[in-house]
Structure 1
Amino acid sequence: MGTPLGDFVRAKRDSIQPGSFGLPDRGRRRSPGLRRSDLAARAGISVEYLSRIEQGRDRNPSPAVVNALADALSLDAAERDHLRYLVKITGGACAGPRRPAPPSRDVRPTMLETLRLLEPAVAFVTNRLGDVLAYTSGFELVMRGSGLLETPAPNLTRYVFTDPRARTFFADWHQVADEQAFDLWLGPSAETSEWFKNELAPLAGQEFTQRLGRHLPPPQVPLRLNHPTAHELRWQRERLELPRTDAQQLLILLPADEPTMRAMERLRRRPGGALRAIG
């Protein structure tokens, strides 16, 4: 049985073309990417030890080995942080059958005031599980008719994988699905994320579970939404991580083109809502 750490190392190795490391192409082979022997040589470890890590038979590699693997795979800063996180949760105890304490849904008053100052921008506060905790009236305008905000405790991850309307609303549904699944590895706590994944998996099926083993951060691309009345909207996204004790983040959607700016101006002329925090 694999582990998050082993799955990540294997997925990253498979994504690397040997030529990018100055290695010769040794012809056709069953698996894409870098050979295990090549990665082991670059990291200064044995092929057998690398196999144990990738297959989940070694769950506690030393910091020196972890750093050597990060160097051998040419990981960037974000990938190195993710690798260290996977080492932590792979070596630790897995969540039990009981639900852990849920992350706080309270948003600090100062962050609510920040949202008010951002009006009429499209912005919302969420956590890595996908809970939508507070949002501006601009966000409500953009999401109106999508179905996301129709529940008392909206959750973007659950919506993406279980609501059929999401596949129409998100023009690049597969990209958004990859992003939401990857975010679960960075959840408020390893125990909470594991519980959430186990709860969602039976409802979301293979579209969800197959993404959990990829581990590679999705590329950052503009977000395209098929709005029910404003047609396609294109957004650039900015993310602000709040203090670790909050386990929350502020996301701001910025129009990526002139048609989106004009569409938002038309939407704002209609009767709108107000800033909302979801307790």
Structure 2
Amino acid sequence: MGTPLGDFIRAKRDSIQPDVLGLPDRGRRRSPGLRRTDLAVRAGISVEYLTRIEQGRDRNPSVSVVNALADALSLDPSERNHLRYLTKIAGGECSAHTQPVPPRRDVRPSVLETLRLLEPGIAVVTNRLGDVLAYTSGYELVMGGIGLLDADAPNLTRYVFSNPDARTFFADWDDVADEQAFDLWLAPSVENSEWLTAELAPIAGPDFTRRFNRHVVPPRGVLRLNHPSGHELLLLREMLELSSDAQQLVVFLPADEKTAQAIDQLRPPSRLRAIS
């Protein structure tokens, strides 16, 4: 039985063409990408040891081995962080039999005050499971009317994979789906994400399970929205990690003047008050 760590290393190895690393093409291969032999040589480990890691038979590689594999695979900083995280959970620290603990849903008063100061901007507090915990009126303005905020406990991950309207609203649905599936690995613990993955797998099928298991770190580019008003909105995202709460504050900014004007048009007209 494999592990997420082994799956990630194997997926990255399969995605790399030898010529990118200056290696010769040695003819036909049973699988695409880099050979185990080539990766083992680059990392300075034996092929047998690499095989054990990929197959989940060695779950505790040393820090030096993990760093050597990251260098050999030319991982970027986000991918390196993910590799370290997978190494941590592969060591047996997360038991599959542990009772899942509901993620924290309350938001600290100081964070709520920060949201208030961001009004009427577009901002939201979520956790890595996709729970929408608090948001500004600007976020409601943009995300209202699509069904996301109608639920008693809004969850962006569930919405993306189970609501057909999401595929229209998110112009780059595949990219957004990759982001939401990947973020489940960054939840406070694997146990915390089990309830959601168990719920989503039957609903979303291969669209979800394939993304969850391939460990591709998403680029998180400009978010393109097909708003129900008919406007196309292009939004930049700035994320502030609230590490002590296992939550994040996301602020959305117009990526161009056209989007800024469209958002202004969505806002209700200001009410003027007569002064006697």
Q: TM-score range by the shorter chain?
A: over 0.9
Distance 1:194 1:87, change over 3 A: farther
**Contact 1:131/1:156 (<8 A) preserved:** yes
Letter of the aligned partner of 2:84 in structure 1? R
TM-score, normalising length: structure 1: 0.92
78 and 207 in structure 1: CA distance in 2 versus 1, 3 angstrom threshold: same
Contact in 2 for aligned 1:107/1:134 (Cα 8 Å): yes
Give the conservation status (yes or no) of the 8 Å contact 1:230–1:263.
Answer: no
TM alignment of 1:107-256, pairs within 5 A? 107-242=107-242, 244-256=243-255
Q: CA deviation at 1:264?
A: 0.4
* Structure 1 counterpart SS, 2:245: coil
Q: How does 1:8-23 map to 2 (within 5 A)?
A: 8-23=8-23
Residue ranges of structure 2 left out of the alignment (5+ in a row): 272-276
Which structure carries more relative contact order (alpha carbon 8 Å, separation 6+)?
1
DSSP-derived class of the 1:250 partner: strand
Q: Which amino acid aligns with 1:254?
A: L
CA–CA separation in structure 1 for the residues paired with 2:195 and 2:70? 28
Percent pairwise identity: 72
Contact 2:98 2:191 in 1 (8 A): no
Residues 127, 188 of structure 1: 8 Å contact kept: no
Q: Spell out, residue by residue over 1:98-154, the C-alpha distance to the aligned partner (whole angstroms, 9 max, x if none).
A: 4x2212111111111111111111110001100000000000010121110000110
Partners in 2 of 1:271 and 1:170 — Cα distance? 29
Equivalent residue number for residue 258 of structure 1:
257
What 5-or-longer segments of structure 1 have no aligned partner?
273-279
Letter in 1 for 2:195: W
SS at match of 2:124: strand
For 1:34 and 1:23, the matched residues in 2 are separated by: 9
Question: What TM-score comes out, normalization by structure 2 length?
Answer: 0.93
| Deviation at residue 188 of structure 1 after TM alignment | 1.8
The equivalent of 1:96 in structure 2 is 97
Is contact 2:184–2:193 with CA below 8 Å preserved after alignment? yes
CA distance in structure 2 between the aligned counterparts of 1:155 and 1:11, rounded to whole angstroms: 29
Aligned length: 270
* C-alpha distance in 2 between matches for 1:30 and 1:267: 55
Letter paired with 2:177: A
CA contact (8 A) 1:95 1:195 kept: no
Q: How does 1:5-84 map to 2 (within 5 A)?
A: 5-84=5-84
CA distance in 2, matches of 1:8, 1:271: 52
Specify whether residues 47 and 149 from structure 1 end up closer, same or farther in structure 2 by C-alpha distance, changes over 3 A only. same
**Alignment RMSD:** 1.7
- Pair member with larger Rg: 2
One-letter code aligned to 1:209: T
